[in-house]
Amino acid sequence: MTSGVGVGRDTGYLRTVVGTSEPRGYLRPGVTLNPGEELATGAGHTEPNILDYISENGIEPIAAAGRPICARCEKMIDLAGAVRLTS
Amino acid sequence: MTSRLSSVAADLAEQLETQQPTRLRRAAAGAVHLAVAHTGLAAPPLDAALAALREGRFGDSADRSAALRLADELDEIAWDLQERSEAGTGSQDAYLAAFGRARAAAAVGFALDADALTAALEALYEAQAAVADLGAIRAAVGSALAE
């Protein structure tokens, strides 16, 4: 199980998107979103879920972090134009 | 109050925060029974925990611990199935079913929390993850609160 976070720019302000590798963005006990954070739902790896959410909502990706990020997801983040803050 | 439930149904979480403990317990029980029935989860530790829920024996207990331990064990099974699914040696459906059973067991454990609001918020969150149908959970809670 992994979780991650992406940050993007949307018409002048930053949006923070949280995702997990579990179904529909399931959050483990004790994990909650901070005010303003958005949840990326989906299935599969965390990073594509976050990138899909960012793309679907017209957000410009800036940075992404998670641990560990697999090679395939690293490539997806790079192709999206975001900076990887973790590896 | 920030809760996991507010990440998927902020209105439902806010509604629960205004309810009396007896109604919160009914809401949690309704969601738990839906999750258990939907996933077909059956195990001796679960029976004892469901009996505790019926009898109003809330708070830390061997039954509650057993339900949460069962959830952990089912999570281990689910993660193994997830890895197999990603490796192409298992099915996604099998993983999702195992994930749902783990969530149903967790819902039972959380419903026995000593604090009625925490019990409801956490049990409903786990239950909606178990059934993958927030509408069904809303309906079950609505029925429970209308009693």
Q: Are residues B129 and A23, on separate chains, in Cβ contact within 8 Å?
A: yes
User: Considering CB atoms only, which of B4, B92, B103 is closest to A32?
Assistant: B4
Q: How far apart are CA B127 and CA A75, in angstroms?
A: 35
pLDDT digits (tens, 9 = 90+) for A14-46: 999 999 889 998 999 999 999 999 999 877 788
- A-B Cβ pairs (cutoff 8 Å, strict): 36
Most confident stretch, A6-10, A32-36, B60-64: B60-64
Measured between beta carbons, the chain B residues lying within 8 angstroms of A44 are 86
Tell me if chain B has a CB within 8 Å of the CB of A12: no
| Radius of gyration in angstroms for the set of CA atoms belonging to chain B, rounded to a whole number | 15
Domain span at residue A53 reads 3-84
pLDDT value for A85:
84
Q: What is the ipTM of this complex?
A: 0.92
pLDDT at A12: 83
- Residue A72: the pLDDT is 82
Task: Identify from A24, A37, A46, A72 which residue to disrupt to test chain B contact, counting B C-beta atoms within 10 A and taking the largest count.
Answer: A24
> pLDDT of B85-97, one tens digit each?
989 999 999 999 9
**How many domains would you assign to chain A?**
1
Which pLDDT score is estimated for A66? 81
**What is the token pair recorded at B32?**
């738990």
What pLDDT does residue B140 have? Answer: 92
In this prediction the pTM is 0.91
Shortest Cα–Cα distance, A28 to chain B (Å):
8
pLDDT for position A79: 86
What is the overall mean pLDDT for chain B? 95
Mean pLDDT, rounded, for B69-83: 96
- Mean pLDDT, residues A46-75: 87
Mutation target to probe the B interface, by most B beta carbons within 10 A, among A22, A31, A37, A46 is A22
Question: A2: pLDDT confidence band, cut at 50, 70 and 90?
Answer: confident
Whether B50 has a pLDDT exceeding 90, the answer reads: yes
- What long-range pairs does B68-76 form, CB within 8 A, spacing at least 24? B68/B105, B68/B106, B68/B109, B68/B110, B69/B45, B70/B43, B70/B45, B70/B46, B70/B105, B70/B109, B71/B102, B71/B103, B71/B105, B71/B106, B71/B109, B74/B98, B74/B101, B74/B102, B74/B105, B75/B102
Q: Can you give the pLDDT at residue A64?
A: 84
Residues within 8 A of B (CB atoms), A 44-73 only: 44
Whether B103 has a pLDDT exceeding 90, the answer reads yes
